[in-house]
Amino acid sequence: MNPKTIKTFNPRTGDFLDQNYILSNLNDLNEKVSDAQLAFMVYRNTSGNERAILLETIAEEIESVTEEILAITTLETGLHAGRIQGETVRTIGQLRLFAEVARKEFWLDAVIDTALPDRRPLPKSDIRKCLIPIGPVAVFGASNFPLAFSTAGGDTVSAMASGNPVIVKAHNSHLGTHECIAAAITRALERCNLPKGIFSSIIAKGNELGAALVQHPGIKAVGFTGSYSGGTVLLDLVSKRKDPIPFYGEMGSVNPIILFTSALKDPKTVSSLISSINLGAGQFCTNPGLILTIDSEATQSFCLRMTEAIEQCVGEVMLNKAIYDSYEANMAEISAEKSYTLLGQGTKVADALSVKPSLALTSGKKFLTHPKMGKEIFGPFSLIVSCENDNELSEILMKIEGQLTFSFMGQEKEFNEQAHLIALAKEKAGRIIFNGVPTGVEVGYAMIHGGPFPATTAPNSTSVGTDAIRRFARPVCYQDAPQSLLPMALKDNNPLEIFRKINGKWCQDKI
């Protein structure tokens, strides 16, 4: 029997592409998880340097096929060449950053409390702890980041940097991109002489195999980027396992922006907000979907300038038919519903899945009672909420659900005068931005791309930046262990030369 296949779709032409991709079945999945479990026995014992070399080799392999990636990814996603090139550079940079993290081993978080044998009434044991890899990780890549949040994206790279095998559920919107990147990872594993089970993937249509993946007893953690509906279904399955495992879901966010008077009057505010709303057809989890102000003459003039600017915008294409349909349905609802005033819309391009960038207005009162306002509308849309007064604005901030980001635009004096709003925002989001837009997430040591539910399912974590590695590790402590049995990070002579917390003080000392 011929294997079942699936094709990807070109959002510009509205046609399916020629290539067929073979769908995986349950046997394939079981085999891949078994291979990952075997590979873990080897991979968890590799040094940070060996893992760094693997990540650098993957980066080199991806670099060697950038033209191929550009050709296929532009066809499958409708994203512009410049965006794909930028995302490729970001993906390669991310691999190299995590290589550095793996090599320097500081993520191990080594802590040592030395023994006090003479302590009275009881002697104190020698207790040492550090992080160890958690085991095979399932990764669900996102539609909107075919490279940086997909096959070799942040979840895969942070899991591999800490010594875990990864099984990726490829996103059906960009299977050609996926195969190109998966082949690059496989070549890198061969070049590094490491077991092939460290990386594998499945291609699936419908939800059955994805569900089986997160429920498989061999899987020890899950990284997911996508919709609230998908994320919560998978979270539910994971929590009902006999052995529930960590589930790191990054889902929707409207990324509220609060504008103070000086920002409302500043012409740069309109241009930076409009380009952020329309960037990549608004298909970013950091799209500024909600703009909050207090009603005034400055607010009304700002709304007029925003309307003029959105009407000048030319739309781009959406990533796939489901995302396109969902945006169009949302816009039809907003046009028909009295609670919204549709301020303006840009124009579509001729391509199949092109949409109009759009802007709507509502009052604080309506926002507070409407069941849907404040929920993510994925695409180039933003809702301005004009509040009656400061109390109403505070009430809205208290009502708003967990977010990835919260932004404030204005002058330092205004921020200080409204410090209570900033304090409220801190309770709701993983990143607080001053005088900037939420799109453009730097991959670095201090970045937090996370936040309280429903933005994510794990508010104490980040999916971007070097701290992402901690999601796929767990702490183990050793009590009175002989030196020969301790991991390198905890040995007296500090062979890794890392910073450790010894008796409460961070240092690079030997003991």
Residue 434: its H or E element: strand 429-434
Q: Which of 86, 230, 436, 487 binds ligand NAP (CB under 6 A)?
A: 230
Residue 475: its H or E element: strand 473-479
Phi, psi of 4 (to 5 degrees): -75, 145
- Min CB(320)–ligand NAP separation in Å: 7
378 near ligand NAP, judged by CB under 6 A: yes
233 near ligand NAP, judged by CB under 6 A: yes
Q: Which of 57, 74, 172, 200 binds ligand NAP (CB under 6 A)?
A: 172
- Footprint of ligand NAP on residues 140-159 (CB under 6 A)? 140, 142-144
Task: Provide the annotated active-site residues.
Answer: 250, 285
- Min CB(238)–ligand NAP separation in Å: 11
Q: Which residues contact 312 (CB under 8 A, 6 or more apart)?
A: 346
- Min CB(436)–ligand NAP separation in Å: 19
Q: Which residues contact 21 (CB under 8 A, 6 or more apart)?
A: 5, 6, 7, 8, 175, 176, 179, 203
- Footprint of ligand NAP on residues 320-339 (CB under 6 A)? 323, 326
251 near ligand NAP, judged by CB under 6 A: yes
Look up residue 64 and give its two tokens.
């060697």
Tell me: cis bond preceding 267? Omega within 30 of 0 counts: no
- Min CB(95)–ligand NAP separation in Å: 20
Name residue 131's amino acid.
L
Q: From CA 23, how far away is CA 117, in angstroms rounded?
A: 61
Q: Residue 41: left (phi > 0), alpha (psi -120 to 50), or beta?
A: alpha
Task: Pick the closer one to ligand NAP by CB: 133 or 226.
Answer: 226
Q: From CA 183, how far away is CA 189, in angstroms rounded?
A: 10
Q: Which of 45, 207, 312, 460 binds ligand NAP (CB under 6 A)?
A: 207
Task: Pick the closer one to ligand NAP by CB: 299 or 457.
Answer: 457
261 near ligand NAP, judged by CB under 6 A: no
Place of tokens 């409207």: 254
3-state secondary structure of 495: coil
Q: Which residues contact 411 (CB under 8 A, 6 or more apart)?
A: 260, 262
Binding-residue total with ligand NAP (CB under 6 A): 25
- Min CB(492)–ligand NAP separation in Å: 45
Piece in contact with ligand NAP (CB under 6 A), picked from 115-123, 244-252, 469-477, 490-498: 244-252
Task: Pick the closer one to ligand NAP by CB: 125 or 232.
Answer: 232
What residues make contact with ligand NAP under the rule CB under 6 A?
140, 142-144, 169, 171-172, 204, 207, 210-211, 225-227, 230, 233-234, 250-252, 285, 323, 326, 376, 378
